[in-house]
């Protein structure tokens, strides 16, 4: 079937750059990244939810002029939903289309529980930046990391918190489908820190990973 790309980081008419790409054809999508942000891209061919539900999405990071301040480690997590079709079949269009969504899995970077089964090593005391994007297609995220506090949060281009130690902190960032955030935190000590969406019905469906402080 045909596909296309919709880069949220770009400003272009749908019939200019987001055009149909037929099987075997090629297309060069040209745009100037005028705005900093953490942006979704996805196949935009109708019905887009079907293409998104089959995994045709990703994240584009556009840093502001001069870049972001130095941190020790950066990670990028894309939260998405799987609506399973039958064995060997693509995702279920009927399920992904349902108005009362019931994803079979809710995952970070495509695979349920992958960072729980294989925790991500981080250094105790180090400064961490996480780019997190919720591609849906249907459900919101409430991104949280157990045992840590976010002191710096930029959501949809808005710097909400600025690392004011001793000031206010944040426990969760709400992201509707197609929203993204940049969060920063310090790993307080050695040990285990689970990251989840705090919509806990989805934690048992794969939306959990672990940062392992070493």
Residues 104-133 that bind a copy of itself (CB under 8 A): 104, 106
CA 185, CA 129: separation in Å to the nearest integer?
7
Residue 189 interacting with a copy of itself (CB under 8 A): yes
Three-state DSSP class for residue 92: coil
Of 69, 110, 121, 204, the one binding a copy of itself by CB under 8 A = 204
Shorter beta-carbon distance to a copy of itself: residue 102 or 118: 102
Helix (H) or strand (E) holding 33: none
Residue 54 interacting with a copy of itself (CB under 8 A): no
Is the CB of residue 101 less than 8 Å from the CB of residue 81?
yes
Residues 12 to 31 in contact with a copy of itself, rule: CB under 8 A: 12-16, 18
Q: How far is the CB of 22 from a copy of itself (least distance, A)?
A: 19
Of 5, 43, 45, 49, the one binding a copy of itself by CB under 8 A = 49
Three-state DSSP class for residue 144: strand
CA 83, CA 66: separation in Å to the nearest integer?
40
Q: Candidates 20-28, 69-77, 84-92, 134-142: pick the segment binding a copy of itself (CB under 8 A).
A: 134-142
CA 194, CA 40: separation in Å to the nearest integer?
24
Q: Candidates 5-13, 21-29, 72-80, 84-92: pick the segment binding a copy of itself (CB under 8 A).
A: 5-13
Q: Which two tokens stand for residue 19?
A: 């055009």
Of 1, 23, 28, 65, the one binding a copy of itself by CB under 8 A = 65
Residues 148 to 187 in contact with a copy of itself, rule: CB under 8 A: 148-149, 151, 153-154, 156-158, 160-161, 165-180, 186
Q: Candidates 20-28, 67-75, 84-92, 200-208: pick the segment binding a copy of itself (CB under 8 A).
A: 200-208
Q: How far is the CB of 208 from a copy of itself (least distance, A)?
A: 10
Pair type for strands 127-136 and 73-82: parallel
Is the CB of residue 210 less than 8 Å from the CB of residue 115?
yes
Residue 5 interacting with a copy of itself (CB under 8 A): no
Q: How many residues of this chain bind a copy of itself (CB under 8 A)?
A: 87
Query: Alpha-carbon dihedral of residues 77, 83, 85, 89, nearest 10 degrees?
Result: -30
Pair type for strands 208-213 and 120-122: parallel
Three-state DSSP class for residue 16: coil
């Amino acid at each position: 079937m045909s596909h296309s790309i919709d880069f949220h980081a770009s400003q272009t008419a749908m019939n200019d750059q987001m055009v149909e790409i037929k099987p075997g054809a090629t297309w060069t999508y040209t745009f100037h990244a005028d705005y900093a942000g953490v942006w979704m891209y996805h196949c935009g061919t109708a019905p887009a939810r079907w293409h998104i539900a089959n995994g045709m999405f990703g994240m584009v990071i556009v840093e502001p002029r001069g870049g972001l301040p130095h941190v020790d480690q950066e990670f990028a997590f894309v939260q998405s939903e799987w609506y399973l079709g039958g064995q060997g079949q693509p995702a279920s269009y009927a399920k992904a289309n349902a108005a009362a969504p019931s994803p079979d899995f809710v995952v970070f970077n495509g695979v349920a529980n992958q960072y729980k089964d294989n925790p991500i090593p981080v250094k105790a005391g180090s400064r961490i930046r996480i780019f997190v994007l919720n591609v849906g297609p249907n459900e919101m995220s409430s991104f949280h990391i157990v045992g840590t506090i976010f002191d710096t949060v930029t959501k949809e281009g808005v710097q909400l918190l600025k690392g004011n130690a001793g000031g206010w902190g944040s426990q969760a960032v709400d992201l509707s489908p197609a929203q993204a955030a940049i969060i920063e935190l310090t790993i307080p000590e050695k040990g285990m820190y689970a990251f989840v969406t705090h919509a806990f019905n989805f934690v048992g469906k794969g939306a959990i990973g672990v940062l392992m402080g070493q």
